[in-house]
Amino acid sequence: MIEIIPAIDLIDGKCVRLSQGDYNKKTVYNENPLEIAKMFVDAGIRRLHLVDLDGAKAHHIVNQKVLEIIATKTNLIIDFGGGLKSDEDLRIAFESGAQMITGGSIAVRNPEIFIAWIEKFGAEKIILGADVHEEKIAVGGWLESTDIELMPFIQNYMQKGIFKVICTDISKDGMLAGTSLDLYKKMLQIEPEMYLIASGGVSSIADIELLEQAKIPAVITGKAIYEGKFKLNELSRFL
């Protein structure tokens, strides 16, 4: 059974979505993210992917108050990412209620720090964020591309203990045009032990069904929910 992980992206404390990571293509869906989180709880969902887009731009945690409110007012298991660059950022995130954090840019730019986090907190609490465009890693809230190949990047961290990986295909994210199913299949063929969390492009329940049939362990979905492409109660078959 595929794990369903709804996403809430935060700018100015509001629930928003971007298209292809473009901060100029922002849609505000709700000014109170707690209302959205409670909707997920009411639908029987247990997990939440909470992204601090302000933090990703500022290179430090910004929306920890929203994290704290959702963590204290719901029973959602929250992974939190966006701008986590220091031990202090991690301390704030965990003390504010995150059970897991996602590190992307930090894993590229400061591998020593990211490896130290894995060693200190354990791979259960540290998720590798692999944002990708044409199978090359992107960083800085997708504002900067690199020449780093996707799978060698992931495999290097799997050797350090990582097993949970969120892979977001930037070209698909927020476009409601289907997921990068072939890429995810290829990734699992190379590293079948990886707990791969597919992210970007979900446009329908059928997209989730295809991922489940391909034995992708988990999927993050955001815009499809907010745009009404399916109802939350339709996810019950996966819960």
134: CATH:
3.20.20.70
Give pLDDT, residue 6: 98
List the domain range (segments joined by +) for residue 177.
Answer: 3-238
DSSP code of 2?
P
The pLDDT assigned to 155 comes to 98
Residues that are catalytic: 9, 131
Which mean pLDDT values do the consecutive 10-residue runs of the chain (239 residues) have?
A: 97 88 85 98 98 93 98 98 95 98 94 98 97 87 80 98 95 80 97 97 96 98 94 94
List C-alpha distances in Å: 69 to 24, 98, 154, 233, 234. 27, 11, 33, 24, 27
pTM over 0.85: yes
How does strand 22-30 pair with strand 14-19?
Answer: antiparallel
* pLDDT for residue 17: 86
The reported pLDDT for the residue numbered 143 is 60
Is residue 89 within 8 A of residue 61, CB to CB? The reply is yes
What are the structure tokens assigned to 60, written together?
């430090």
pLDDT at position 177 is: 80
The pLDDT of residue 34: 98
How many folded domains does the chain comprise?
A: 1
How many residues would you count in the chain?
239
Element (H, E) at 128: strand 126-133
Cα distance between residue 67 and residue 52, in whole Å: 9
